[in-house]
Each structure stands twice: as C-alpha cells, then as structure tokens.
Amino acid sequence: MSYADYLDLRTLLSAQHPLAQPPQHDELLFIIQHQTSELWFKLVLHELRSARELFERDELQAALKRLARVKHIQATLTGQWSVLATLTPSEYSQFREFLATSSGFQSVQYRAVEFLLGNKKAEMVRVFDREPEWRAVLAELLDQPSLYDVFLQLLARRGFAVPREVTDRDWSQPYTPHDEVLQVFRQVYADPAAHWDIYETCEELVDLEDNFQQWRFRHLKTVERIIGTAPGTGGSSGVTFLRRALDQTFFPELYAVRGVIATGSVERSGER
Ligand code: HEM
Ligand SMILES: N[C@@H](CC(=O)c1ccccc1NC=O)C(=O)O
C-alpha cells in the first residue's frame, strides 16, 4: 500500500470543483477553506461523541483528554480564518453568484457540533429534508443528551443536588438554566480543592465554549471584511445574524457562577 492509497488521495484531491465561468483564481481558496474546516469538524464530532460516552461511564480523565484535543482543533480552525481573510471583496465578487443560495447553514457537521454541545434548534433539522442520511444524523443527536446534559447527570451521580427535571428531560428541547445547578457550581468554585476533577472539567468546558466563540467571532469579522453588511446567500441578514450568535451560551451556569464568585457575599452598593 502507498501513501496515496492509505489516504485515498485520489478521492480527496479530485474533490475540488470550482464553478465560476470564466474560471476565477480565488475560488480554489474558498473551496479548500471549507473542505479543511469540514474535515476538522469531522474529527471534533468524533472526539465530542467519545467524550460524551466517557462522561456517561464516569471516566472523567479520559473524557478530558478528548476535550484537550478538541481545543487544539478549534484553535487551528480559528487560526485558519486568516487564510480566507486574504480574499478581497473584489475577488469574492468574481464567483459569489455561482454559489447561488448555498450557505454555511447547510453544513450538517457544524449543526451536529452545535447540537452535541447543547444548542438544540429543532427547525435546523428540516434544512436536510432532501438529504435523508444527514437528516437522520441530526434528528438522532437532537433527541440525545448533549455533552453538558451528561455532565450534569454525572454530577447528580456524584451526589450533587442536580434536580430531576435537569437529569431527565426532553433532550430535543434547548437547555434552560436552573438556579439549583448554579448552586452546585457555586459549591465547586467555592472550594476547588474539594472537587478538583469536577472543577477541572468545568474549566475545560468553559475553554471549549470560549474557543467556539472565537471561531464565531473570526467568521463574523472575516465575513464583514469580505461582504460588509450585504445579506447572506442563505437568506439571513448576514453579519447582523452572525453577531447575534455571539450572545448564545452552551453552558449558562458555568458563566453565571463567575459573577457569583466575583461578587461573593458582598452586597453591591447600587448600579452605575
Ligand atoms: C467568503 C467567505 C464567507 C462568507 C461571506 C460567509 C458568510 C456567511 C453568512 C452571511 C452566513 C449566514 C447565513 C447566510 O445567510 O448565508 C454564514 C453562515 C455560516 N457559515 Fe459562513 N461565510 C464564509 C465562509 C465560511 C467558512 C469558510 C465556513 C467554514 C465551514 C463557514 C461556515 C458557516 C456556517 C457553519 C454557518 C452557519 C452558522 C450558524 O448557523 O450559526 N462560512 N456564513
Ligand atoms: N453565505 C455566504 C456564502 C458562503 O459563504 C458559502 C456558500 C457556499 C458554501 C459555503 C459557504 N460558506 C459559509 O457560509 C455569502 O453570503 O456570501
């Protein structure tokens, strides 16, 4: 077996099909930027699914190893935006019309990562009505607990007061924050040494979300410099839509607890 056989390079390297007529030099960059992102999304999914299973089996250290790898992949994905940022508005406008109404909305792997991390949006499954295998993958993930859901179940098994409505619920629904969960994290963050592995896992999850937000931010800023405030090919408002995504959080109580710790028991003396 050769290098090319093992890696199936004939398939991989013949999968770039620029559409612009006359051909445009920069379309290959656009295609490869997306394809490499999709390859990394594939590995992120593989690692996150495994991390979720390890949480279910109470194998926290092994799960953390998976998350550490995901964080490095995210850093690569975020760094990669600088390659696409070399695409100027003039260059992009040479082939944008050939993309028609296709858009990142239709990335099944991206949506799968969002679902696994807990951003459940049932309506996004319908995007894949005409691609039944992909629709099935997403429908299955929609109905399964997210990484955060299984982490909260693990905390309940460890004896923390995580309410029943959190550990046993309709997983297809978006997660809603609970004060009881915030109190659990308050306990953990008030005495890290007493709950070290849990504390470490919480911080890994925050890193993961932080990295995800950095990817979103670089997407937004790259899009802004290439198409400004033009609406997206997928029918959204474009950068306004992308900016709103930055307000979303996968792990609400892990962010809320920071305010609690920062303020401690000190009463605030009026807002300014
Ligand atoms: C010139 C480059 C790019 C532009 C102008 C652009 C623009 C946009 C816009 C405007 C949207 C909102 C949906 C729409 O109305 O189309 C969007 C969504 C999206 N884009 Fe891009 N994008 C670019 C490159 C990329 C790349 C390289 C990726 C990597 C895979 C990507 C992944 C996504 C994803 C996953 C979404 C859905 C986000 C969500 O639903 O929150 N985009 N993009
Ligand atoms: N939404 C982009 C088009 C775009 O970026 C795109 C088009 C086809 C396949 C992937 C894409 N990437 C991310 O949205 C635009 O409005 O120009």
Among 3.40.640.10, 1.20.58.480, 1.10.10.10, 3.40.50.720, what is the CATH number of 19-263? 1.20.58.480
pLDDT value of residue 264: 83
Give CA 129 to chain center in angstroms: 22
Q: Which two tokens stand for residue 139?
A: 């429908």
| Token pair listed for 81 | 């935006």
Q: Give the Å distance between the CA of 223 and the centre of ligand 2.
A: 9
Transcribe 219-267 into DSSP letters. Answer: HHHHHHHHHTTPPPTTSS-THHHHHHGGG--S-HHHHHHHHHHHHTTPP
Question: Burial level of 55, CB count in 10 A (0-12/13-18/19+)?
Answer: buried
Distance 221 CA to ligand 2 centre (A): 14
Q: What is the pLDDT of residue 268?
A: 58
Asked if residue 227 has its Cβ within 6 Å of ligand 1, the reply is yes
Domain ranges of the chain: 19-263
The question of ipTM being above 0.90 is answered as: yes
Quick check: CB of 234 below 6 Å from ligand 2?
yes
User: CA 153 to CA 58: how far, in whole Å?
Assistant: 10
Where do we find the tokens 């109190």?
183
Mean pLDDT in runs of 10 for the chain (272 residues)?
98 98 98 98 99 98 98 98 98 98 97 98 98 98 98 98 98 98 98 98 98 98 98 97 97 98 72 64
pLDDT given at position 271:
63
